[in-house]
Structure 1
Amino acid sequence: MVSLEVEFKNLLTSVEFTRIESQFAFAPPFKQTNYYFDTPDQKLQQHHCGLRIRIYMDHAEQTLKVPTAREKRGQHELLEITDNLTMAQAGTKQIQPDGAVATALNDRQISLSDLQIFAEATTIRRIAELDVGELTLDQTTYPNGRIDYELELETKQPELAQQFYQTLLQRDQIPQRAVTNKISRAVTNH
């Protein structure tokens, strides 16, 4: 499956996280564990791509994220290439050779045999379905014990979502913070 992901992101303090959590009707939280991959010479990073296996309680997936050329300040636009995995496949912690992800890696001359896990993180995610998109709160724990908090608004309506997002930050007096992606944060906190 290939989809276009347009999202607005901001890091939060724990207090800001709790404040936003109390303002919206979030579905019950769920846990996901991510294993991030690259080659020893960081070919994916050189292509500005991210590769992960994500394991939930009852299913899993492998995803390659590829940036588009249409990035704007505060707005991230990524092409997501995802294959569903069985729990047994995910348990191997290896990128599977069949599917769209393997094809996309092959197109970039990245060999599956060169891939290795270089970082991981576990996230407790809360999602609220809004008219402008999915509002997500993530509380992520890294192997070194560090925890961070993130707000994300994923949308198919970028203009409306940007207005909503900016209003939310201003109303709650949350400064717009530069966000490094979870992969980079996982590396720093491994």
Structure 2
Amino acid sequence: MAPLPARSTLTRTLLALFLPLALAACGINSVPTAEENAKAKWADVQASYQRRADLIPSLVAVAQNAAKMERGTLEAVINARASATQVKLSADDLSDPAKVQAYQAAQANVSGSLSRLLVTMEQYPELKSQDRFADLQTQLEGTENRINISIRDYNAAVQDYNTRIRTFPEMIGAKLVHGSKPLTPFQAKAGADTAPDVGAMFNGSK
């Protein structure tokens, strides 16, 4: 009877060594880590869009003060910005394609109206001579770059997470333990839905 306790101790030791490895292989830790990373990247996307929204009032003010802009063009930007700020998308909504698409559509509307405003402003040479206008140009260019980079990073994080929850053996922990759902990538669209080429517009390219 003496060997039994020894075997029992050995069994417990082996379980203590291999159980954490087995759980790790099943995505117990890696899946939520990947999900949190994707959500953090989404926060960067929102921050970049918020930065653009914060610049729009200054851009509109410069246009209003420096030239007799078409009222409809200015109102379109103001309304698009107001509508976009009403469309909220929390990190917990990223698994809902409809909500992601609604947020994307709202931001695309801002991009389109902002693009038309910048093209219109190009027709007023007196604007180009203003330091404030040049400063806004630089800030908008930087913001559009941030948006593109943050979307790229978010999509990469989403791809990593979605791959993990669909791939054996991590899919075991994803389904049985975490109840994980795929996250929705942010898709760029052609035409007016893309970020305006600020540099080209200010240089006279249409």
- Does the pair score TM above 0.5? no
TM (norm. structure 1) is 0.23
Structure with the larger strand share:
1
Larger-gyration structure (1/2): 2
Structure with the larger helix share:
2
